[in-house]
Amino acid sequence: MRRWCECGYDRGVNASDFVDRMMGLHAQLDDRFFAHQQALLDRDFARAAAALADYRDRLWRHIQDEESQVLPRYAALGGEVGDAPVRLFLGEHRNLRTFVDDFDVRLARLVQQPDDRPLLELFDRQATFKNLLLHHDLRERNALYPFLAEHLPAAEQERVLAALSWSGG
State pLDDT tens for residues 2-46: 332 333 333 345 557 999 999 999 999 999 999 999 999 999 999
pLDDT confidence tier of residue 83, bands split at 50, 70 and 90: confident
Q: Report pTM.
A: 0.88
**Quick check: 118 and 151 in contact, CB under 8 A?**
no
Per-residue pLDDT, 81? 76
**In this predicted model, what pLDDT tens digit does every residue of 115-130 receive, in sequence order?**
999 999 999 999 999 9
What was the pLDDT predicted at 15? 57
C-alpha–C-alpha distance, residues 153 and 15, integer Å: 9
User: Which residues, 6+ apart, have CB-to-CB distance to 27 below 8 Å?
Assistant: 1, 2, 3
All domains of the chain, ordered by start, with CATH? 15-162 (1.20.120.520)
47 pLDDT band, cuts 50/70/90, is very high
CA 129 to chain centre: 12
State the Cα–Cα distance between residues 154 and 169, nearest whole angstrom: 23
